[in-house]
Amino acid sequence: MITNLNEEEVRGLLTEERVGRLGCIVSGEPYVVPVNYLYDGESILIHSLPGQKIIALRLNSNACLQVDRIESDFAWKSVIAFGTYEEINNAAERSRALDQLFKRFPQLTPVETLIAEDASAPAPIVFRIKVNRVTGISQSFW
């Protein structure tokens, strides 16, 4: 049975999970990458090295984050949060966002550790997807 999730269920899944797939548009084509994220109830916080998705999102700020919990081919939930890309450049706000992210993802990746040790490495980008609507469906046996 496939059912729609209500908004509370969708926001619950967004809050609980920590890996999502970020969708954006690159040169008119869809582009999807896995990301660690944090949902604070209004926005999705993400940090990233500069690259293709950042270049694309600066040009076209329409973005979505798809998050799922898949137990089997026939028992899963999937939600999508749609919104717009906003880079967090204000120093205080950026530091607050990074604090939140590092609390949730305490183990810095080797790349990030390298960045901390190497001032010449590119600074990670911190951004939010300001969520303007969410949808979700669930499939189950029952």
Please identify, among the stretches 3-11, 38-46, 61-69, 95-103, the one whose residues bind a second copy according to the rule CB under 8 A: 61-69
Where b means 16+ CB within 10 Å and e means fewer, 93-126 reads ebeebeeebeeeeeeeeeebeebeeeeeeeebbb
Among residues 3, 16, 58, 70, the one that binds a second copy under rule CB under 8 A: 70
Q: Is the four-CA dihedral 8, 10, 15, 16 of positive or negative sign?
A: positive
Q: Does 66 bind a second copy (CB under 8 A)?
A: yes
Among residues 103, 118, 119, 141, the one that binds a second copy under rule CB under 8 A: 141
Q: In whole angstroms, what is the distance from residue 25 CA to residue 67 CA?
A: 18
Q: Which is nearer to a second copy, 41 or 110 (CB)?
A: 110
82 touches 131 (CB < 8 A): yes
Among residues 12, 17, 31, 54, the one that binds a second copy under rule CB under 8 A: 31
Among residues 13, 24, 101, 134, the one that binds a second copy under rule CB under 8 A: 24
Instruction: Look up residue 78 and give its two tokens.
Output: 């999937």
- Binders of a second copy in range 79-118 (CB under 8 A): 80, 82, 105, 107, 109-111
Count residues binding a second copy (CB under 8 A): 35
DSSP 122: P
Return all residues near 20 (Cβ < 8 A) that are at least 6 apart. Answer: 34, 35, 37, 44, 65, 66, 67
Applying CB under 8 A, which residues contact a second copy? Answer: 1-2, 19, 21, 23-25, 28-34, 36, 49, 62-64, 66, 68, 70, 73-74, 76, 78, 80, 82, 105, 107, 109-111, 139, 141
